[in-house]
Amino acid sequence: MRKPRKVIVVGGGLGGLWAALRVAEAGHQVQIFSLFEVKRSHSVCAQGGINACFDSKGERDTIWQHIVDTLKGGAYLANQPPVKSMCEDAPGLIQTFERMGVTFSRTAEGLLDLRLFGGVKHRRTLFAGASTGQQLLYGVDQEIRRQESLGRLQKFEWWEFLSLGLNQQGVCQGIIAMNLRTMEIKAFPSDAVMLASGGMGQVYGHRSTNSTNSTGAAACRVYQQGAWFANTEFFQFHPTAMLGDDKTRLMSEAARGEGGRIWVPRDAQEQRRPNQIPEQDRFYFLEEWYPSYGNTVPRDLASRAIWEVVNKLGLGVAGEAKVYLDLTHLNPGFIEQRLHAILDIYRKFHGTDPVHEPMEIYPSAHYAMGGLWVDFERDDTTGGIKHGSPRNHATNIPGLYACGECDYGYHGANRLGANSLLSASYSGRVAGESVANYLQGLQQGHPDSDDPIYSSEINHQQELNRQLINNQGEENPYQLHRELGELMSSQVGVVRDNQTLSNAIESLRTLQQRSRNIDLQERNSWSNQGLAYARQLQEMIRLGEVIAVSALHRDECRGAHYKPEFELKLPENASAGDPAYETYRNQWKAQNQNWLKTTIAKQTDWGPQIDYQAVDLSVLAPEEPRDYR
Amino acid sequence: MSEKIQFRIRRQDTPYSPAYWQTFQVPFREGLNVVSALMMIRQNPLTTDGMKVDPVAWEFNCMEEVCGACTMLINHRPMPACSTLVDTLQQPITLEPLSKFPVIRDLMVDRSRMFADLKRVRAWIEIDGAWDIHQGAPRISPEHWRDNYLYSRCMSCGSCLEACPQYGQMLPFVGAAALAAVRLMNNHPTGKYHRKQRLHAIMVEGGLSDCGNAQNCVQVCPKEIPLTTAIGELGRETTVQMLKDLFGSAD
Ligand SMILES: Cc1cc2nc3c(=O)[nH]c(=O)nc-3n(C[C@H](O)[C@H](O)[C@H](O)COP(=O)(O)OP(=O)(O)OC[C@H]3O[C@@H](n4cnc5c(N)ncnc54)[C@H](O)[C@@H]3O)c2cc1C
Ligand code: SF4
Ligand code: FES
C-alpha cells in the first residue's frame, strides 16, 4: 500500500493558500507554514484591484489585448505560454473568488464592476471597495478553514521555514522550521514542498511599500541550497508612495486611474500652498510627456519621470524628493466612495485631507518581478501551458515548487498594475495542480523524521542560531537593515549605472561581514524576535547582492531596469513607418538579439554566478517596441 | 521640536512569568506612530533609568491597519499601534498587551481562539470546489454589496472582544467578530443555503444570547464595522429560526 502523500506549503498569502486548497482538493494531506496567522499575510495590503477581461463596459476589451498588454508591459521578457494561459483563465478565476464570497464592487445592474488601471486602455480591473487584496485573501482563507475543519489540512502558524530536507539525489523531502515562540528547530518530512513566501521588498528596508513578511529570506535560503533565482534585477518602484520612516505607504494606482493628476510647481522656488498655484504655473509632466496615456502611463515610466523631475530638473516640491498627486479637482463624493482606503491611510498617517490638498509622493520599492526560477510545459495545440503538467512551477530542485510573488513567472521586466494579485492566485492554483500530479508519479514516500537527511540539517541550523546568540559583536541588526535599505534604494534603485552598482556590491559584502558581527542584545530565549530578524537580515543582504550583480551584468534598459548609458531614445515626432522610427526599431531589435533573455543567478562560494536562458516567444513576436506617447 | 515622548510598557518575559513595567523615551517627530516608536525602542532598548534591557516584543506586519496584527492597549484602549499617531495621545503613553488573550511575551498575545471561533460558526461559503465552473455567483445589487462590504473588512484584530464585558478567557461567548462573520456569510446569495447551520451554531451556550448588549464593541472597532446592527439582525433571525425549529416548518 502506498503511504498517504503529504505536501508542505510555506506561506499563507494568496499564492500559498490557493496552492494548498488545490492540493487538499486533490485528496492529499497539506501542512501550511506561516510566520503568523495566515490571515495577516501581506496580500491584504493590495488595495487597487485584480485584472481579468470581462469586456462589460462597451469597450471591446479582449483577452488577447490583456495578453499583449502584459507581454509588452513586461518588455517581452516573460515566457509567453504561462502569460497566455493566465490571461485566458483570469475570468474563471475571478468567478471562483466570487463564489467564495469575495465582495467585489458592483455596477447598478449587479455585475462585477471594472476600473481603469495604469498601462492599459480598457477597463479591466476588478476591485472590492479599496481593499481588494484583503477581500481576495479572506475568500481563500475561509475555504482553507473549511478544509481544516474537514481534517484535510493543518496549519503551522508562528513557524519559520529555515531550510529544505534534501536526500542524496538532491530531491526535496520536507523542511526544517523554527517555532517562533519556543525557538525549537524541528524537521517536517513531506513528499513535496511549495514555497509561497511572498516578495522581497524589505531588501529596500523602510524605503519599500512591503509588509515586514516580505523579506525574501525563505527564497534566499533555498537559493543557497541550489535553487536558481531569475531576473532579480527587475524591481518595480511604485511611483506614488507616501513617505514615512517605518515604511512608505502606497497610494494606489487607482488614484491615477480615477483621474488623479501628478504635477510639480514650474518654479523650483515656489512658495505658495499647492491650492494657490494657478494652472499655468503647474507642470503636469506626465500629461505633457505622454499625451495619449497621460497620468496612467505604466509605473516604470511614471517613476523615472518623477525621478527626472526631481533629480535632473530640480523641481521637487520644496526642494525635496517629492511631487504632488492631486485629487482635489475630482468630485469628493465620488473619490470618497472609490478611493476610501487611500484617503483614509493618507489622513491617518499624514494628517492632511487629500480631498482638499494634493498628496505628496515619491517612488518606492514595490514589487519584485524576479524570483525563484520555475519551469512550465507548453501545450503546442493551444500555445498556453499544458494544464496539470508536473513541470509547471517546478523549481530546478526536484520536489520543490514555487508560486506567488517569490517566483519570477509572469511579469517579465515589468508588471502591470493589478496583474500580481492575478499571478499570485493563478500561480498558486496551477502549482497546486502541478504538485498533485507530481505526487502521482512518485514511487517512494519520504523517510521518517529521524532520518539523517533531516538531523544533519537540524544540527546546521542550530549551529547558526548558536553563533548569533553567543556573538558579542558591535553591530545592531536593526541599524544594519536601515543601512541596507538606504544603500539599495540609492544605488540599486530607479536609475542605475555600472560604477555605482560595482560600489554597491562592495558595500553589500562589507554589510554581510558586519551582519556576522552582531549583538542581539537579547537574553530572553523565548519568542526571540531579534534572532529571527538577524537571520532574515543576513538573507536580505545576500539577496541584495544577487539583485545588484544581476543588474550589473545587464547592459541595457528594459522595463524596470534602467541604465541611461545604454538607453535607446525614441525619436521625437516620429511614428511607425518614418525612417527615424524604423532605424530605432532596428536598433531595438538588435538589442533584443543581445539581451532578450532570462537572467539566471546560481549560488557559488564566491557569490552569484550569472547565466542566461532563452525566452519562449511563441505567442507574440517582439516586433513592436513599447511606445506610450 | 526636540520634544521627548515617554512610553510606559507592560512587559512579561514568558506566558508564565510575572509582568513588570518599564519606561522608555523616544524623540518626537511629525507623524510618529506607535509602531515607529516601538521600532526605535527595539533598536536601542534603554529605559529612562539608563538600564539596557531586552528589546520589547510586539506583533506587526502591514503597517497600514489592514492585517490586524498590531492591536494592543494604548492608554488602556484597544487600538492598532501602526495607525495610532503619538501626538493624538496623552503622555506618558501606556502600552499593554490585550487582556482577553493569553500573553506570549511583552505586547504579543495568542489570538488563536478567534480563528477557532470562525470555524465554530462555519464562516465560509460551501463551494463544490475551487475549480472553474464557467459561471460566477448570482448578481448582487450595489446596496446589498455596500452592506456586506462593511462586514467583510474585519481583520480579526480582537479589539471588539477586548472591550466586551461578556468575553474572556474563562467565558464561552464567541464575541462580536464571529457573529458579524455569520451575518456576512448568511447574506451571500449562495452562502444563504447554509444559513440554518450557522444560526444553529450561535444558538447554543456561548452564542448570541450571551451578548449583554453593552455596545462597547462597535465603539472600538477600528474598521467601523456595524457590529451591533449585525447582532440585532441575528437576534431577529435566531428567534425566527427557533420558532421554525419548534414547529418543524421547512426553510
Ligand atoms: C502596498 C501594496 C499594494 C499592492 N496592491 C496591489 C494591487 O492593487 N493589485 C495587484 O495585483 N497587486 C498588488 N500588490 C502586489 C500583491 O499584493 C502581492 O504581489 C501578492 O499579494 C503576493 O502574494 P503572495 O502570496 O506571493 O505573498 P504574501 O501575501 O506576502 O504571503 C507570504 C506568506 O509567506 C509567509 N512566509 C514568508 N516567509 C516565511 C518563512 N520563512 N517561513 C514561513 N512562512 C513564511 C508569510 O507568513 C505569508 O503568509 C500590492 C503590493 C503592495 C506592497
Ligand atoms: S470586528 Fe472590528 S474590532 Fe472586532 S476583530 Fe473585526 S476589525 Fe477588529
Ligand atoms: S501592522 Fe497591520 S494592522 Fe497594524
| A3-44 tens-digit pLDDT | 569 999 999 999 999 999 999 999 999 999 999 999 999 999
Work out which ligand 1 atom sits closest to the CA atom of A403: 26
At residue B126's C-alpha, the angle toward residues B120 and B129, to 5°, is 130
Output the pLDDT for position A7.
Answer: 98
Interface confidence (ipTM) of the complex: 0.97
Show the cell assigned to B226: 456595524
What single DSSP character describes residue B87?
G
Percent of chain A at pLDDT exceeding 70: 99
C-alpha cell at A12: 499563507
Which ligand approaches the C-alpha of residue A249 most closely? 1
Q: Which amino acid, A227?
A: A
What is the per-residue DSSP string for A354-422? TTTS-EEEEEEEEEES-EE-----B-TTTSSB-TT-TTTTB-SSTTEEE-GGGB--S-TT---TT-HHH
Asked which of B49, B82, B109 is the last residue of a domain, the reply is B109
- Domain assignment of residue A257, yes or no: yes
Nearest Cα to Cα of residue A341 among A249, A259, A421, A211: A249
In the structure, what pLDDT confidence band is assigned to residue B250 with cuts at 50, 70 and 90?
low
- The closest of B95, B115, B18 to A149, measured between CA atoms, is B115
B43, B61, B124 member nearest A213 (Cβ): B61
**A292 pLDDT higher than 60:** yes
Q: Report the pLDDT averaged over residues B174-192.
A: 98
Domain shared by B118 and B240, yes or no: yes
Q: What is the DSSP letter of A13?
A: S
Q: Is residue A274 part of a domain?
A: yes
Query: For chain A, what percentages of helix, strand and coil (3-state, to nearest 5) are there?
Result: 40, 20, 40
Q: Residues with Cβ < 8 Å from A468, sequence gap 6 or more? A: A518, A520, A531, A534, A535
Ligand nearest to the CA of A341: 1
Q: How far apart are CA A240 and CA A252, in angstroms?
A: 7
Whether residue A331 is contained in a domain is answered as yes
Q: Which residues are CB-contacts of A565 (< 8 A; sequence separation ≥ 6)?
A: A497, A498, A555
Q: In sequence order, which residues have a C-beta less than 8 Å from that of residue A462 and are 6 or more positions away?
A: A185
Ligand 1 pocket test, candidate residues A9, A33, A34, A372, most atoms within 8 A of CB: A34
| Interface contact A99-B69, CB threshold 8 A | no
Q: What is the mean pLDDT of residues B189-205?
A: 97
Q: Which residue, B180, B175, B239, is CA-closest to B207? A: B175
User: Which domain range does residue A325 map to?
Assistant: 238-366
Chain A closest-CA separation from residue B224 CA (Å) = 12
Q: Report the domain count for chain A.
A: 1
Tell me which residue in A106, A521, A530 faces B141 most closely, judged by beta carbons.
A106
Q: How many CB atoms lie within 10 A of CB A586?
A: 10
User: Whose CA is closest to atom 2 on ligand 2?
Assistant: B221
**CATH assignment of the domain containing A324:** 3.90.700.10
- pLDDT tier, B1 (very low <50, low <70, confident <90, very high otherwise): very low
What strands lie across the sheet with A6-10, from one edge to the other? Answer: A153-157, A29-34, A6-10, A192-195, A400-402
pLDDT at A624: 86
Inform me whether the pLDDT recorded for A513 exceeds 60: yes
pLDDT (mean) for A160-179: 98
Residues facing A599 on adjacent strands: A612
Distance A41 CA to ligand 1 centre (A): 6
Q: Report helix, strand or coil for A259.
A: coil
Determine whether the interchain pair B152/A41 forms a contact, defined as Cβ–Cβ distance below 8 Å.
no
Residue nearest to atom 3 of ligand 2 (CA): B221
DSSP result, A265-307: ESSTT--S-GGGS-GGGEE-HHHHH-TTTGGGS-HHHHHHHHH
Say how far apart CA A7 and CA A20 lie, in whole Å. Answer: 8
Q: Verify that B79 and B172 share a domain, yes or no.
A: no
Q: How many helices (H) and strands (E) does chain B have?
A: 8, 7
Encoded amino acid at A606, one letter: W
Is the CB of residue A248 below 6 angstroms from any atom belonging to ligand 1? Answer: no
Q: Are residues B105 and B169 in the same domain?
A: no
pLDDT at B2 over 90: no
> CA-to-CA distance for A573 and A583, rounded, in angstroms?
14
The number of distinct structural domains making up chain B is 2
CA distance B215 to B165: 10
CA dihedral for A544, A550, A555, A561, sign (positive or negative): negative
Higher pLDDT, A31 or A307: A31
Tell whether B125 and B243 lie within a shared domain: yes
For B97-145, what is each residue's pLDDT tens digit?
A: 999 999 999 999 999 999 999 999 999 999 999 999 999 999 999 999 9
pLDDT at A1: 40
Q: Is the CB of B156 under 6 A from ligand 2?
A: yes
CA angle B89–B175–B115, rounded 5-degree value: 95
In a domain, A260, yes or no: yes
With contacts defined as CB-CB under 8 Å, which chain A residues touch B185? 101
CA nearest A102 in B: which residue? B152
User: Residue A173: which H helix or E strand, with range?
Assistant: strand A172-179
Residue A324 pLDDT class (50, 70, 90 cuts): very high
Angle at A95 between CA A90 and CA A98, to 5 degrees: 130
Closest CA to A195 of A376, A444, A369, A373: A373
- φ and ψ at B146, to 5 degrees? -60, -45
Give the Cα separation of A549 and A542 in Å (integer).
11
Parallel, antiparallel, or unpaired for β B71-74 and B93-96? antiparallel
In this structure, are B9 and B105 located in the same domain?
Answer: yes
For chain A, what is the mean pLDDT? Answer: 95
Side by side, the strands of the sheet bearing A282-283 are A249-250, A235-242, A359-368, A323-326, A261-265, A282-283
Q: Would you state the torsion angle of the CA atoms of residues A444, A448, A449, A453, taken in this order, to the nearest 10 degrees?
A: -60
Based on the fold, state whether residues B116 and B240 are members of the same structural domain.
yes
**Distance (Å) from CA A485 to ligand 1 centroid:** 19
Q: Which of B33, B152, B192, B198 to mutate to test the interface with A (most CBs of A within 10 A)?
A: B152
pLDDT value of position A511? 98
Residue A584: predicted pLDDT: 94
Active site residue A152: no
Residues of chain B positioned with their CB less than 8 A from the CB of A93: 132
Residues B118 and B230 in one domain: yes
Which residue did the predictor score with more confidence, B138 or A292? B138
The pLDDT of residue A339 is: 86
Domain of residue B31, CATH code: 3.10.20.30
Please report whether residue A414 resides in a domain: no
Model confidence band, residue A253 (pLDDT cutoffs 50, 70, 90): confident
Whether A454 has a pLDDT exceeding 60, the answer reads yes
**A586 contacts: CB under 8 Å, gap ≥ 6:** none
Residues B88 and B47 in one domain: yes
B120 and B236 both lie in a single domain: yes
Q: Which of B59, B83, B109 is the last residue before a domain boundary?
A: B109
Helices A477-491 and B34-43, axial angle in degrees (round to 10): 110
Is residue A294 one of the residues assigned to a domain? yes
Q: Does A391 fall in a domain?
A: no
* CA quadruple A368, A374, A375, A380: dihedral sign: negative
SS3 A157: strand
Q: Is the pLDDT of residue B175 over 90?
A: yes
In a domain, A489, yes or no: no
> Residue A75 — left, alpha, or beta (φ > 0 → left; ψ -120 to 50 → alpha)?
left
Give the residues across from A265 on adjacent strands: A282
CATH number at residue B204: 1.10.1060.10
Closest CA to A561 of A494, A489, A477: A494
Q: Please name the helix (run of DSSP H) or strand (run of DSSP E) that holds residue B40, with its range, or none.
A: helix B34-43
Grouping H, G, I as helix, E, B as strand and the rest as coil, residue A114 is strand
Q: Is A442 in the pocket of ligand 1 (CB under 6 A)?
A: no
Atom 1 in ligand 2: residue holding the nearest Cα: B177
Residues B164 and B205 in one domain: yes
Out of A45, A101, A149, closest to residue B64 by CB: A45
Q: Find the length of chain B.
A: 251
| Cβ pair A263, A285 in contact under 8 A | yes
Is A421 a residue whose pLDDT tops 50? yes
pTM of the full predicted structure? 0.96
Q: How large a percentage of chain A has pLDDT more than 90?
A: 86
Written as nine digits, the cell of A55 is 469586456
Separation in Å, CA of B135 to nearest CA in chain A? 6
- Both B116 and B239 in one domain: the answer is yes
Residue A117's pLDDT is 82
Kindly state whether residues B86 and B183 are assigned to the same domain.
Answer: no
Contacts of B131 in chain A (CB under 8 A): 25, 96
For residue B63, list chain A residues with Cβ-Cβ distance below 8 A. Answer: 211-212, 246-247, 249
Residue ending a domain, choose from B57, B90, B109: B109
> Pick from A349, A420, A531, A439: which is nearest to A198 by CA?
A420
| Residue B132 to residue A89, Cβ atoms within 8 A | yes
| CA-wise closest residue to A98 among B180, B183, B132, B230 | B132
Ligand 3 centroid to residue A211 C-alpha, Å: 9
Expressed as residue numbers, the domain containing B225 is: 112-247
Which chain B residues are closer than 8 Å to A143 by Cβ?
A: 124-125, 127, 130
User: B148 CA to middle of ligand 2, Å?
Assistant: 15
Q: Which helix (H) or strand (E) holds A611?
A: strand A607-614
